[in-house]
Chain A
Amino acid sequence: MNLHPALIAFFIIALAILSAAISFLTLRKVIYMALAIGAVFIGCAAVYILLGAPFVGIAQVLIYAGAITILIMFAIMLTNHEEMEPPFRWTLRNGASAVFCVLLAAALLWIIRSQAWPAQGGTDINRGRSNPAAIGLELFQHYTVAFELVSLLLVVALVGAVMLAQARKEDE
C-alpha cells in the first residue's frame, strides 16, 4: 500500500473532523459546541479542496465557517448563553437514539464496504478551465433557472428572518 501525500492528508483531516464532531456531542457548554462545529466546517472545506473542488471549499469557508458560525454565536449570546447541557444519562430516548444511529452507521458502512467503487480522476471535469470559471459557466449555462430561484429564496429568507426576529408591538 503506497501512502500518497493526499491520502495521508485526507486521513488527518478526517480524524480532525470526527474528533471535532464527537467533541460537539460531548461538550457541555453551548458556546464550546459552536466552536467545535466551526472546526467541523473548516475540516469539510479542506476535504473539498483536497477533492479538487476549490470553489466549493472557499464557499464553505465563507458561508459556513464565516457566516453561519458567527450567526450561531450571535443567537447563543442573545439567548441564555450560560446554559449547560445536562450530563449524559442513559434515558430511553438517548439509548434508543444511540442504538438507532449506530445501527444506521453500521448498515451504511457495510453497504459502502461491500461495493466496488471505480477509481476517481482521469477525466478533466473542469474541461481545461480553472475550477471557478468552469462552475460559473455551468451555473449560468445549465442551471440558470435554479440559480435565479435560489437568489429569490435567499431574498425571501432574508426578509422572513428580519420579520420573525423583530420585536413585536404587543410584547412591549
Chain B
Amino acid sequence: MSRYEAVIGLEVHVELKTETKLFCGCSTEFGQAPNTQVCPVCLGLPGSTGVLNKKVVELAARAGLALNCKIGAYTWFDRKNYYYPDLPKGFQISQVFRPIAYQGYLDIEVDGRDKRINITRAHIEEDPGKLVHSSGSIMTSSSSFVDYNRSGMPLIEIVSEPELRSGAEAKAYLEKLKAILEYTGVSDVKMEQGSLRCDANVSVRPAGTAALGTKTEIKNMNSFRAVQRAIEYEVDRQIDVLEDGDRVVQETRAWDENKGITMSMRSKENPDYRCFIEQEVSPIELSDEWIEDLRVTIPELPDARRKRLVAEHGLPAYDAGVITSSLSLAEFFDATLEKFPDAKKISNWIMGELLRLLNARGMELGESKITPAGLASLLKLIEKGSISNKIGKEVFEAMFQEGKEPAQIVKEKGLSQISDEGQLTQIIAEVIDKNPKSVADFQSGKEQAIGFLVGQVMKATRGQANPGVVNAMLREKLAE
C-alpha cells in the first residue's frame, strides 16, 4: 500500500456536433485550408457582434442531462480576458459565473469496483484559433502562423471533482464520458481531430490526510491511454519530489508521448482573467418544460444498456460492458440480434473477430464494410452447417473488407462445407486405408483414436467437411 494518495481532476473540452460555430454561421468542418471558414465575428473584426447558435444550447443541455447535472434556469456568458495570438478578440467568451449544467456525476468501474465521480460543471465556451508552425522547420523558422478556422467552434468544458485516484480511474472516466457523449449525439468525440481534449490536474498527499497537495496541470495528451500514462508518471514524479524532501511546484506540464514523461511548460503566473459578464450575447433562460421535453429525448445510456443486455439476453457483464462502450457497437449488436436471436453467439463474434480486426487495423466500426445483416447471415450459415466456425472466420474477414454477402463469398471461394455422404465416403475409405494403426487402436477400445481420424478427413477436405457427419460415418464404417 502506497503511503501517498493521488488526487486527480479532469477538465475535458468537447466540441459539439453542430454545422456552424458558436456565434456565427461559419462551418465547423474539420481539416479545411487555413482561414477559409472565417467571418468578421470569428476573426474578431472591429464592430462585429455574434448571435448564439440555438443548437449549441440544446446539445450542451443534453450533455448536462446525460451526466446527471442540474440545468441552470437562467445562465449567461462571461468574458475571460487574456492575450494570445490565436485568441482574436483578446478574450474568450465562456460561462464563468453561471454554467449551463452543474452538480452531476457519472459512474465508473475499475477492477470490478464501482465508483461515482462527481461532475462540478459543464459550461459552453468558444474555441480559439490554431497556431501552426511552418512546415518542418520549427526550430529555424522565426514565425508562427495563425489559422482561425477553429476560432469560435462551440465547446463544452466538463470539469470533474478531484475524486479520481489513479490513471486507470481517469481512463475509465474518459471512456464512460466519451460513450455518453456519443450516445446522446452531443459530439463526434474524436480525440485525433481534437473534438475531445483532456487536461488533468494532479496532486498527491499522504494517504489518509484531507488537505490537498500542490497540483500541476498536465496538457498535451492525445489518447486515453496517454492520459493514464501521463497521470501515472506524474503521480510517481510528485511522490519522488516529496520523498526527496522537496516541494511540488504549481505549474503546467506537457506530456511527451515518445519519452513517456511530463515536462514543465511554464510556471503559472497567477492568471487573473478579469472575468465579467459578456454584454454582446444574450443570456439563456430555459423553462422547466423545455428541460423536461429535452430529457425525454435522451436515449438509453451505456449503463442502462449494459444492464439490459445482461438481464434480457443473459450476456456476461464483461461482454455487455465492451459492447455498450460505444454506441455504434451497441447498435450493431442490437441490429444483428433482430435477425439472429442468439445474443451470446453474436457477442462472441463482436468481441472476437470484429474487435480484433478493428483494433489490428486501427479502424472505427463505420469504416469497415461489415453490416449487422451480413453477420446474421453468416451466423445462420454456420448454424445450418453450411460452413464450419473456422471457415466462418475467413468469410468474416472477407466481409469486413469487401462487404459482400457471406453466401456469395462462400460460393466464390468454394468454402461450402461437405455434408454429402457420397462425397465423403471415398475420402473416409482412403483415410482408413492409410491409417491402419489408428483404426486398430480404435477397434481395440481406444476411443480417442477417432479424433485423429476425423482430423485426417478434415485435413483432406481442407476443413470443409462437417466434422459431426464425418465422426458418425467413421464410427459406422469401423463398426462394420
A and B co-occur in one complex: no
- Name B residues whose Cβ lies closer than 8 Å to a Cβ of A: none
- Name A residues whose Cβ lies closer than 8 Å to a Cβ of B: none
